[in-house]
């Protein structure tokens, strides 16, 4: 009996050793050597693995940078959280020029505050936007408005978003926002957009503060500051740069065409257009004089 056990153990050990040798040979034959530059470039990146660059984490961007460097051009790649300083380090590492970076920021495109879009129902369920979105249209009746439950605030790794208790809406803190895109992915209603910070040191930017594509009358019933698709902003902008388009009852301002003149802001009848600066007042029509009337 003892001899049988010894024989079995030796047999199994021999088989295991044989498989180990085969696996080792296979692993050595087919192994892929990682370019050491990938690890070195990864160390230059922030390491938060947010995916804002369009790649799966910092190592993914590092691999893309190495491949692009071999082609002699990394100007089309960037790390939004790291910003210009990080990309300059990467550029120095490869000895290549980095692209001119548009500084960006996350922008909320919803004005459905407590005052503008009063609650019509009461939500009773898990305190998460993702689940609430799958269950109903929202307490104010707008299927495109903020659900006010703060998934974006929870998702932001930089504490750059906080819920405003007076309005019920999330607010982006410009000084802390790195435009990593976490809020974009967290919001089930696609209310956040990464846009250029704006023109000049004052960061002048203009945007449509609404995502509602319902007909104007329906949208206005649920929210007083909803875009109603009247097209007045489009007509004003067409006289200047044609940066505003209209699709599915909703206006959109192209941030790369917009010159931040602000002339579209005062013509919006519902105040659905916001700006980070005081827009110009529309010119008043000239009054007819008595001589003109005569």
Dump pLDDT digits (tens) for 235-262: 999 999 999 999 999 999 999 899 999 9
Domains by residue range for the chain, with CATH: 36-94 (1.10.15), 106-195 (3.30.70.20), 198-281 (3.30.70.20)
Predicted pLDDT at 35: 85
Burial (CB count <10 Å: 0-12, 13-18, 19+), residue 227:
buried
Residue position matching structure tokens 């410009």: 174
The residue that leads in pLDDT, 283 or 45, is 45
Predicted pLDDT at 23: 73
Per-residue pLDDT reduced to its tens digit, 158-167: 999 999 999 9
In degrees, rounded to 5, the angle at the alpha carbon of residue 21 between the alpha carbons of residues 16 and 27 is 120
Per-residue pLDDT reduced to its tens digit, 34-75: 789 999 999 999 888 877 777 888 999 999 999 999 999 998
pLDDT cut 90: percent of the chain above it: 63
Predicted pLDDT at 5: 67
Per-residue pLDDT reduced to its tens digit, 80-112: 778 778 989 999 999 998 876 678 899 999 999
Using CA atoms, how far apart are residues 254 and 208, in angstroms rounded to an integer?
A: 10
Q: Where are the alpha helices (DSSP H) in 31-99?
A: 36-44, 58-71, 83-94
Mean pLDDT (whole number) for 198-210: 89
Q: Indicate yes or no: pTM above 0.75.
A: no
Q: Is 291 helix (H, G, I), strand (E, B) or coil?
A: helix
Q: Is 51 helix (H, G, I), strand (E, B) or coil?
A: coil
Predicted pLDDT at 169: 98
Residues 6+ apart with CB under 8 A from 151: 128, 129, 130, 186, 187, 188
Residue positions counted in the chain: 294
Per-residue pLDDT reduced to its tens digit, 111-143: 999 999 999 999 999 999 999 999 999 999 999
Backbone CA torsion sign across 216, 147, 116, 261: negative
The string of DSSP letters for 142-181 reads -TTS---S-HHHHH-TTS-EEE-TTTSSEEE-TTT----S
The answer to whether residue 294 scores a pLDDT higher than 50 is no
Burial (CB count <10 Å: 0-12, 13-18, 19+), residue 96:
middle
The residue that leads in pLDDT, 186 or 21, is 186
DSSP 220: H
Q: CA-CA distances (angstroms) from residue 285 to 60, 146, 264, 282?
A: 58, 39, 17, 9
Burial (CB count <10 Å: 0-12, 13-18, 19+), residue 36:
exposed
């Amino acid at each position: 009996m003892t001899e049988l056990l010894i024989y079995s153990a030796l047999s199994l050990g021999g088989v295991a050793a044989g498989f180990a040798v085969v696996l080792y040979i296979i692993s050595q034959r087919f192994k892929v050597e990682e370019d050491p530059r990938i690890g070195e470039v990864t160390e230059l990146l922030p390491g938060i693995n947010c995916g804002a660059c369009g790649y799966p984490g910092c190592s993914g961007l590092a691999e893309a940078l190495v491949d692009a460097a071999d082609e002699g051009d990394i100007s089309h790649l960037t790390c939004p959280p790291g910003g210009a300083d990080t990309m300059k380090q990467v550029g120095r590492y490869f000895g290549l020029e980095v692209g001119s970076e548009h500084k960006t920021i996350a922008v909320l495109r919803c004005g459905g505050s407590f005052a503008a879009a009063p609650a019509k129902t009461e939500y009773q369920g898990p305190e998460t936007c993702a689940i609430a979105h799958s269950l109903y249209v929202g307490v104010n009746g707008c299927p495109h408005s903020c659900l006010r439950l703060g998934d974006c605030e929870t998702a932001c790794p930089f504490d750059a978003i906080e819920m405003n208790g007076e309005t019920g809406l999330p607010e982006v803190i410009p000084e802390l926002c790195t435009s990593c895109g976490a809020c974009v992915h967290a919001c089930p209603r696609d209310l956040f957009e990464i846009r250029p910070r704006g023109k000049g040191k004052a960061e002048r930017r203009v945007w449509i503060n609404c995502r509602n594509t319902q007909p104007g009358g329906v949208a206005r019933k649920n929210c007083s500051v909803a875009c109603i698709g009247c097209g007045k902003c489009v007509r004003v902008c067409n006289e200047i740069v044609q940066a505003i388009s209209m699709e599915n009852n909703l206006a959109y301002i192209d941030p790369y065409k917009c010159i931040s003149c602000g002339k579209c802001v005062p013509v919006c009848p519902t105040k659905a257009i916001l700006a980070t600066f005081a827009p110009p007042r529309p010119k008043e029509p000239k009054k007819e004089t008595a001589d003109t009337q005569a």
